[in-house]
Structure 1
Amino acid sequence: MSESAPSTPHDSSRTLEVRVPEMDCPSCAGKVTNSVERLDGIDGIEPRVTSGRLVVEYDPTQTSDAEIRERVRAAGYEIVSAASELTLSVPEMDCPSCAGKIENALEDIDGVGEIETRPTSGRVTVETFDGTEAETVVDAIDSAGYDATPVGHARESVGDERPVWQSRRAIGTAIGAAVVTVGMALEFVLPALDPTLGTVAGRSYELSHLLFMLAVVVAGTPILRNGYYSARNRSLDIDFLMSIGIVASVAAHHPFEGAMLAVLFSVAELLERFSMDRARDSLRELMDLSPETATIKRADGSEETVPVDDLTVGNTVVVRPGEKIPADGTVLEGSSAIDQSPITGESVPADKAAGDEVFAGTILESGYLEVEVESEADESTIAQIVRMVEDAEREKTDREQFVDRFASVYTPIVVVGAVAAAVVPPVLVGASWSYWFLVGLTLLVIACPCAFVISTPVSVVSGITSAARNGVLIKSGKHLEAAGASDVLAVDKTGTLTTGDLSVTDVIGFEGATETEVLRRASVAERRSEHPIGQAIVGYADEQGVMTDEHGVSNFEALTGKGVRADIDGTTHYVGKPTLFDGLADLEHVHRTTDGGTTLESPADHPQCEREGCLDVLSAVVPDLEAEGKTVVVVGTEDGPIGVIGVADRVRPEAEWAVSRLQAQGTRVVMLTGDNEGTARAIADEVGIDEYHAELLPDAKLEWIDRLADEHGGTDEKGRVAMVGDGINDAPALATADVGIAMGAAGTDTALETADVALMGDDLTRLPYLFALSGKANGVIRQNIWASLAVKAVLAAGAPFGIVTVIHAVVIGDMGMSLGVTGNAMRLANVEPETPPGVEHEGGDRTANSY
């Protein structure tokens, strides 16, 4: 969208964001700002020159969107699109039928473009043009029979938190149920106590009939009201069908059936609303992760508690034990263990100190922190997660599209069949009008595809919110389905199977030099280098407490592509690749001992070795280290090497377990890396990957994604390939794959925006969990769809024979199946990540049987 939705913050002001591409310099921004400032009611203007956008906060009682746009044009700049996006909360919209009525109502409004209804979260998003006001959209939704409220903050956007059993409809249904129960007792159990109130047109009416009529009025009024709006908006939905059934029952002198239909359907609607509220609760839990207030530390040392929405970038907030961090930021002072499970799903607290990044919604376990705010409330990592979970309904899955197409054909056919069943037998063969009317009424109730239609979206939302709670952000239901259906998983090496951070693994001394001495000389020389390998050596030396004195270093020189040279205590030292020492003196020999260590000896100690046939120190050590996937750094002087240091990117401790679990689930795992053949082979062997492809440039990775898809495809279509990488360096391959999975996306905007699935923490255990959850979600969706169709078919087959009545149709076909598919979908919330044995950082109480 080129413009954002007008929002409604707590101060009743609104925010308009428009795209002005030609506003590309401070001078342009100044002209636009001066022009807009002339309007009354402008609370704030923020020209964003880099992105060509203008953000204006204004008082809608004094000015409007259209006037602001006109002032931008008056400054000589065009707005690319006059479209805005308006989001409204519609709590009572909790089924596809409700959504259809609202869509029909909005389609008739001039100035309204794309409409997105999301029953699971109770939200409607509307694209508006030409300054269409929010009130116009609200009125249109009201005409469909639903209350709507524009929302400006995610916390306000999901349904109604009031329990459904306290609603006016619940009270009316309870009264109707009590009245119809008394009527049933009088008519069927105690007929002697059921007095006749009068006779009309030769038909007598007892007290029980009057009670049934009263039950229809009390419990059926909301149904008839919704049915009226359905007819008004040309929507052939359950409310319309039930209204026809209730009215027809009363008109045909079947008040008992009409009362039962009204009461039972109302109960079914309440139960469905209750089930939907359970699904919405998972979204509310995500929203509630972020606190509502924050404690700001002022420049004079005083503290002030303010709403989180009022925080601005640069504020310093104070967080104490047990409190939630109110915003994404960097620790300025203090240290503490922080529970980051709301963001990363990691159950073991992470230690944070000055300079470390922290996230909104995470919980301080001990200590005291002062945090500099680096993002506003609506831009924090947790806010982005909430938005993306809500937006997961935007793109319908293949199964949802199939269900919608099927329902659009199925419902009219069954409705026609119901009318035919009620009319044809009595007309053609003189059958009982009363009997076949009830058969037609039963088929009319069975015609509602409600449970069938909600079977997929409720499963998708349940799966996506369950994943979000466990540190896996899935962008849409389509990707939830696709992950489990993937034939192969392509895995990047650096930053995915490995930590992405170089570290020293081996230090070997020659000519009597100790490991400490080799490390000291290397770190002194490398301390002035900016190369990652040099920094890894310096960091390791510091960790080991090796004392270094930089005062004795002079004539430092970086040898491009080879290493570094520096004079240490007057002696020239070299630290770099083995080729840097070609041609230097070779006086010593190294031999491996049986226990894997090394011993340095002269040729005299090994008379069986002739000088020209014995391996020199480098040719003996370097190949072995490189075979293990390590980068070799040689340390020495002009006289020759005095030692070697092995540096490697460490394999994640859970990598081997994650790969084995994926393979056990039937997923083919292939490693794609740009690293050399030796390193790739060593890493693949260590984690248990049988197939790898090394020395790949980005274009080559793309080719392999396509090749893997072709290998698993059929005659007419390609197979499905998932790709997991760091979310930035592997962006082209991630975009090409059917499912792109980004590692360690917490706090990384690029990864959050580009990946289809984001693993919020650097935790490979979430990969088997993702595939297991996706596979189970696909199974649940299939179960819901086919169970709904099967039950409908059985009920429809039994209706003409009198085996299935209208009560069976409501209790089993509508209420029972709606509850059934929702309850089945809620099982996805119980899928938890496994804890690999021996991987301490995963922690938690989860077991290997979590799937």
Structure 2
Amino acid sequence: MSNSRRSSSSGPGDGSTRRLELRVPEMDCPSCAGKVTNSVERLEGIANLEARATSGRLIVEYDPTCTDEGAVRERVRAAGYAIDSNESERTLSVPGMDCASCATKVENALAAVDEVEAVETQPTSGRVTVTASDGLTVEPIVDAVESAGYEATPIGDERDGLDESRTVWKSRRAVGTVAGGVLVTAGMALKFVVPALDPALWTVAGRTYALSHLLFIAAVVVAGTPILRNGYYSARNWSLDIDFLMSVGIVASVAAHHPFEGALLAVLFSVAELLERASMDRARDSLRELMDLSPETATVRRDGGTEETIPVDDLEIGDRVVVRPGEKIPADGTVLEGESAIDQSPITGESVPADKTRGDDVYAGTILESGYLEVGVESEADESTIARIVRLVEDAEREKTEREQFIDRFASVYTPVVVSIAVAFVLVPPLAFGASWSYWFVVGLTLLVISCPCALVISTPVSVVSGITSAARNGVLIKGGRHLEAVGESDVLAVDKTGTLTEGDLSVTDVIPLEGADEEDVLRRASAAERRSEHPIGRAIVGYADEQGVAADDADVSEFEALTGRGVRAEIDGTTHYVGKPDLFDGLAGLEHAHATTDGGTALASMGYESPSQCDREGCLDVVADVVPTLEAEGKTVVIVGTEDRPLGVVGVADRVRPEAPWAVARLQAQGVRVVMLTGDNEGTARAIANEVGIDEYHAELLPEEKLEWIDRLESEDSDGDEPARVAMVGDGINDAPALATASVGIAMGAAGTDTALETADVALMADDLSRLPYLYELSDKANGVIRQNVWSSLAVKAVLALGAPVGIVTVIHAVVVGDMGMSLGVTGNAMRLANVEPETPERVDAEARSR
């Protein structure tokens, strides 16, 4: 499969760009990424360029009228890096090719391209697979298809960014490093341990060269050649990176008759590079595990009952796939037949398998634990929930955090300054004070090694990648490093009520008819008005009416209008009706004098009235003053049904609090987070829910724009000086979209399978599980701590080494082993600790408490 992807707008010459994605395995550090970027940037027409060192991918957007894919590839190779791909096979999406005649036309066009060896067209799926000779770029293939009158787009494999784990210790460089190490060890033994066995080989200009000298030179050649090669490409691309600095150090050491230091530098730095690459592979493993969740094949049941195993990529919407115990579900879809418990932890992070039966939604990558399912495919492989998660996690590397941006700016100044100091130490003491050239050369060489900011530069991105992939495995999707940092820095969490603290599965609990109506009439009018509404309360009323057998199909409904945050209005049988909050009826005639005339059920009994007639006789039941507050005090949402003249009835709707909500709120508060509930529901319901879950601060009866005002108010209330406070907001990702967008961090509930939540939220909880919120804050806090530890420890070690170099305490060995290799491994290993952060649950905490 080709490793390049391209997209274009209308066509060349009108501002369109094409997107190219290349896999560059050896580009695994910021220095390498900078070198490749510098090389490719020289081309004209480069619109956007991203070198992702963590995943070894280069993404280029370019103007095809100014350059092409071949030129981009050439610039990558000019920087000294190979592009890893299977050049012989490329797959293109040709959506307009949907019949046999179209396929023939495309095949004929491709046959005219000399390098094309075979063509396989798939009109059903609109794909073309081309087998070509090595070195053929995608441009001629796309041009050929377009010459046939069809738009073509290269398709990349989701796994392109992360190849199989490479065995770095068996590579050519590893062999050369080992050989160089042996030569250095032998030379050290001769020179320092048994000098009597170190014979002089020749004398030049009064300087004697012994066998150990020759061994050191050989070590430089064997272990240092890859470094010198990379340094050459760095110089060609004007990149002041570690490869260039080490090359200068090695060459200068040999030229200045310090072959031991040069050989030691070559071997130690090569070991550091190998260790760094191995540790980076560990960082990539977590993302590779996500990619491996989706199966590669699927068993499809065709017409007639026959079963066929096909690649998952060939699945089409409407296919019927068969899944047996232990197998992974190959695509997002709906259960058509069978029932089973499914392990959904790869998607939602839920530890308890979910029972699925006919009509239930299932996700690609989840595992069938028992039973048998037949699933109707509802999304293509590259649009499944797990595929979108992988893409979003990969893209999370794109956005640099504020710390990363600062460190990049710092490194751009730090390295030239320290290099200049190193040169000064080499030249000034001997020239100005007659000091030893040999001594100050070693000092300058040591500072040259210290000038490399590699450990500092990777300290943040490797932590971000580790944290984000760890979160994804536990059912929390974080859309970027800045969001990971921002969660831990937010002291306030604004929480929506319906669908967040509560289950969002509303049900009607009370129907209280008023004067001139009965229960069936109230339900009929309410459900007729709400059938066009998408609000959960409206759906609950319609569902309850259907359950009670109250038909509203015969009602003539027109002029429907949703009154945002208040209710709905509609013409029913020629009369304007309102269904909504009590304040929707403020000022309407008859509201203040309406009295109940039929059995009001629970609400009337709770107020001491045995029947409506008693209520009328005593003249004491005012709808606003009595019925509404009583229902609200029970934590119910009150909906009034009426016309412009008078209310006809009161409907009580209730929602259940999520079982884990009180525990999650308590844990968040214990972590120092101020939890505030913002809801559009009434004061009584809000108070009841807040008391049940343990929230002290709540604000009710808020319209969507008022929620935005409260987000701004919370930011100003908790601000520290000129900086506004960070406020996180958690909601359902759809109804609360404005507030989620306004908050510093928007967190969407239950995003699994929900396109809107996945695309709009900064953080998405894949399951409706509030226990993931304390985990998210814990992970973010630890990630911020790890990043700070990495940054400050890198700076501190560099400072100590730099201070120790001039006085002879720190040598080249210390600079390479501690300052470069040690710190790079240290920050990577420290970042990997984030993978061990596991979410707590009420059951887990209780079990641990009992075990003590």
Deviation at 1:158, TM superposition (A): 1.6
Q: Is 1:686 the equivalent of 2:714?
A: no
Q: Is 1:704 the equivalent of 2:710?
A: yes
* Conservation of the 8 A alpha-carbon contact between 2:595 and 2:623: no
Match of 1:717, SS state, is coil
Alpha-carbon distance between aligned partners in 2 of 1:534 and 1:478, rounded to the nearest angstrom: 38
Counterpart pick for 2:47 among 109, 113, 124 = 113
- Evaluate the alpha carbon distance shift between residue 117 and residue 419 of structure 1 in structure 2; reply closer, same or farther with a 3 A threshold: same
Alpha-carbon distance between aligned partners in 1 of 2:454 and 2:658, rounded to the nearest angstrom: 47
Amino acid at match of 1:331: V
- Evaluate the alpha carbon distance shift between residue 244 and residue 392 of structure 1 in structure 2; reply closer, same or farther with a 3 A threshold: same
Alpha-carbon distance between aligned partners in 2 of 1:367 and 1:520, rounded to the nearest angstrom: 43
Deviation at 1:461, TM superposition (A): 0.7
* Conservation of the 8 A alpha-carbon contact between 2:6 and 2:20: no
Q: Is 1:136 the equivalent of 2:71?
A: yes
Deviation at 1:384, TM superposition (A): 1.0
* Conservation of the 8 A alpha-carbon contact between 2:18 and 2:61: yes
Gaps of 5+ in 1: 1-7, 21-68, 71-78, 510-517, 565-574, 636-642, 838-842
Structure 1 length-normalised TM: 0.80
1:494-520 Cα deviation digits (max 9, x unpaired)? 1111111113568999xxxxxxxx999
Alpha-carbon distance between aligned partners in 2 of 1:762 and 1:407, rounded to the nearest angstrom: 43
Q: Is 1:236 the equivalent of 2:240?
A: yes
Determine the structure 2 residue equivalent to 1:181.
Answer: 185
Deviation at 1:223, TM superposition (A): 0.6
- Evaluate the alpha carbon distance shift between residue 261 and residue 848 of structure 1 in structure 2; reply closer, same or farther with a 3 A threshold: farther
Q: Is 1:322 the equivalent of 2:257?
A: no
Determine the structure 1 residue equivalent to 2:119.
Answer: none
* Conservation of the 8 A alpha-carbon contact between 2:6 and 2:19: no
Alpha-carbon distance between aligned partners in 1 of 2:424 and 2:239, rounded to the nearest angstrom: 21
Determine the structure 1 residue equivalent to 2:342.
Answer: 338
* Conservation of the 8 A alpha-carbon contact between 2:332 and 2:378: yes
Deviation at 1:401, TM superposition (A): 0.8
Q: Is 1:759 the equivalent of 2:694?
A: no
1:526-555 Cα deviation digits (max 9, x unpaired)? 99996666875897899xxx9x7889x999
Deviation at 1:338, TM superposition (A): 1.0
Alpha-carbon distance between aligned partners in 2 of 1:328 and 1:580, rounded to the nearest angstrom: 53
Matches for 1:570-649 after TM superposition, within 5 Å: 582-583=594-595, 585=597, 612=618, 623-631=629-637, 647-649=653-655
- Evaluate the alpha carbon distance shift between residue 135 and residue 190 of structure 1 in structure 2; reply closer, same or farther with a 3 A threshold: same
1:629-675 Cα deviation digits (max 9, x unpaired)? 2146999xxxxxxx998530111111111112112211112111111
Alpha-carbon distance between aligned partners in 2 of 1:371 and 1:530, rounded to the nearest angstrom: 33
- Evaluate the alpha carbon distance shift between residue 125 and residue 188 of structure 1 in structure 2; reply closer, same or farther with a 3 A threshold: same
Determine the structure 1 residue equivalent to 2:18.
Answer: 84
* Conservation of the 8 A alpha-carbon contact between 1:90 and 1:159: no
Determine the structure 1 residue equivalent to 2:8.
Answer: 18
Moved more, 146-155 or 91-100: 146-155
Alpha-carbon distance between aligned partners in 1 of 2:784 and 2:6, rounded to the nearest angstrom: 40
1:144-190 Cα deviation digits (max 9, x unpaired)? 01112468112121255222112111111111112211221222222
Determine the structure 2 residue equivalent to 1:821.
Answer: 827
Alpha-carbon distance between aligned partners in 1 of 2:68 and 2:538, rounded to the nearest angstrom: 61
- Evaluate the alpha carbon distance shift between residue 581 and residue 762 of structure 1 in structure 2; reply closer, same or farther with a 3 A threshold: farther
Counterpart pick for 1:96 among 13, 23, 30 = 30
Matches for 1:124-203 after TM superposition, within 5 Å: 124-130=58-64, 132-149=67-84, 152-159=156-163, 161-203=165-207
Determine the structure 1 residue equivalent to 2:250.
Answer: 246
- Evaluate the alpha carbon distance shift between residue 296 and residue 519 of structure 1 in structure 2; reply closer, same or farther with a 3 A threshold: farther
Determine the structure 1 residue equivalent to 2:311.
Answer: 307
Q: Is 1:413 the equivalent of 2:347?
A: no
Alpha-carbon distance between aligned partners in 1 of 2:336 and 2:529, rounded to the nearest angstrom: 28
Match of 1:351, SS state, is strand
Alpha-carbon distance between aligned partners in 2 of 1:83 and 1:563, rounded to the nearest angstrom: 48
Alpha-carbon distance between aligned partners in 2 of 1:524 and 1:667, rounded to the nearest angstrom: 46
- Evaluate the alpha carbon distance shift between residue 406 and residue 204 of structure 1 in structure 2; reply closer, same or farther with a 3 A threshold: same
Match of 1:19, SS state, is coil
Deviation at 1:313, TM superposition (A): 1.8
Deviation at 1:9, TM superposition (A): 4.5
Structure 2 length-normalised TM: 0.80
Alpha-carbon distance between aligned partners in 2 of 1:495 and 1:808, rounded to the nearest angstrom: 57
Alpha-carbon distance between aligned partners in 2 of 1:621 and 1:287, rounded to the nearest angstrom: 56
Alpha-carbon distance between aligned partners in 1 of 2:521 and 2:368, rounded to the nearest angstrom: 42
Deviation at 1:219, TM superposition (A): 0.8
- Evaluate the alpha carbon distance shift between residue 111 and residue 386 of structure 1 in structure 2; reply closer, same or farther with a 3 A threshold: same
Alpha-carbon distance between aligned partners in 2 of 1:201 and 1:577, rounded to the nearest angstrom: 100
What is the aligned-residue RMSD (CA, Å)?
3.8
Q: Is 1:210 the equivalent of 2:214?
A: yes
Determine the structure 2 residue equivalent to 1:457.
Answer: 461
- Evaluate the alpha carbon distance shift between residue 298 and residue 679 of structure 1 in structure 2; reply closer, same or farther with a 3 A threshold: same
Amino acid at match of 2:799: A
Alpha-carbon distance between aligned partners in 1 of 2:344 and 2:616, rounded to the nearest angstrom: 62
Counterpart pick for 2:359 among 355, 360, 366 = 355
- Evaluate the alpha carbon distance shift between residue 602 and residue 723 of structure 1 in structure 2; reply closer, same or farther with a 3 A threshold: closer
Matches for 1:645-684 after TM superposition, within 5 Å: 647-684=653-690
Deviation at 1:599, TM superposition (A): 8.5
* Conservation of the 8 A alpha-carbon contact between 2:337 and 2:357: yes
Amino acid at match of 2:319: N
Amino acid at match of 1:498: T
Alpha-carbon distance between aligned partners in 1 of 2:259 and 2:353, rounded to the nearest angstrom: 63
Amino acid at match of 2:708: L
Counterpart pick for 1:480 among 480, 484, 492 = 484
- Evaluate the alpha carbon distance shift between residue 192 and residue 769 of structure 1 in structure 2; reply closer, same or farther with a 3 A threshold: same
Deviation at 1:603, TM superposition (A): 12
- Evaluate the alpha carbon distance shift between residue 653 and residue 540 of structure 1 in structure 2; reply closer, same or farther with a 3 A threshold: farther
Alpha-carbon distance between aligned partners in 2 of 1:707 and 1:628, rounded to the nearest angstrom: 30
* Conservation of the 8 A alpha-carbon contact between 1:499 and 1:652: yes
Moved more, 188-197 or 676-685: 188-197
Q: Is 1:255 the equivalent of 2:259?
A: yes
Determine the structure 2 residue equivalent to 1:427.
Answer: 431
Match of 1:395, SS state, is coil
1:224-244 Cα deviation digits (max 9, x unpaired)? 111111111111111111111
- Evaluate the alpha carbon distance shift between residue 848 and residue 192 of structure 1 in structure 2; reply closer, same or farther with a 3 A threshold: farther
1:222-279 Cα deviation digits (max 9, x unpaired)? 1111111111111111111111111111111111111111111111111111111110
* Conservation of the 8 A alpha-carbon contact between 1:590 and 1:616: no
Deviation at 1:306, TM superposition (A): 1.2
Alpha-carbon distance between aligned partners in 2 of 1:587 and 1:809, rounded to the nearest angstrom: 87
Q: Equivalent pairs: percent with the same residue?
A: 72
Alpha-carbon distance between aligned partners in 1 of 2:227 and 2:673, rounded to the nearest angstrom: 49
- Evaluate the alpha carbon distance shift between residue 633 and residue 752 of structure 1 in structure 2; reply closer, same or farther with a 3 A threshold: closer
Amino acid at match of 1:265: F
Moved more, 227-236 or 522-531: 522-531
* Conservation of the 8 A alpha-carbon contact between 1:522 and 1:537: no
Deviation at 1:685, TM superposition (A): 1.5
* Conservation of the 8 A alpha-carbon contact between 1:590 and 1:599: no
- Evaluate the alpha carbon distance shift between residue 487 and residue 590 of structure 1 in structure 2; reply closer, same or farther with a 3 A threshold: closer
Q: Is 1:384 the equivalent of 2:388?
A: yes
* Conservation of the 8 A alpha-carbon contact between 1:589 and 1:617: no
* Conservation of the 8 A alpha-carbon contact between 1:588 and 1:601: no
Matches for 1:271-286 after TM superposition, within 5 Å: 271-286=275-290
Determine the structure 2 residue equivalent to 1:722.
Answer: 728
Amino acid at match of 1:116: E
Deviation at 1:327, TM superposition (A): 1.1
Determine the structure 1 residue equivalent to 2:838.
Answer: 832
- Evaluate the alpha carbon distance shift between residue 249 and residue 685 of structure 1 in structure 2; reply closer, same or farther with a 3 A threshold: same
* Conservation of the 8 A alpha-carbon contact between 1:335 and 1:354: yes
Gaps of 5+ in 2: 86-154, 561-566, 571-578, 583-590, 642-648
Deviation at 1:135, TM superposition (A): 2.3
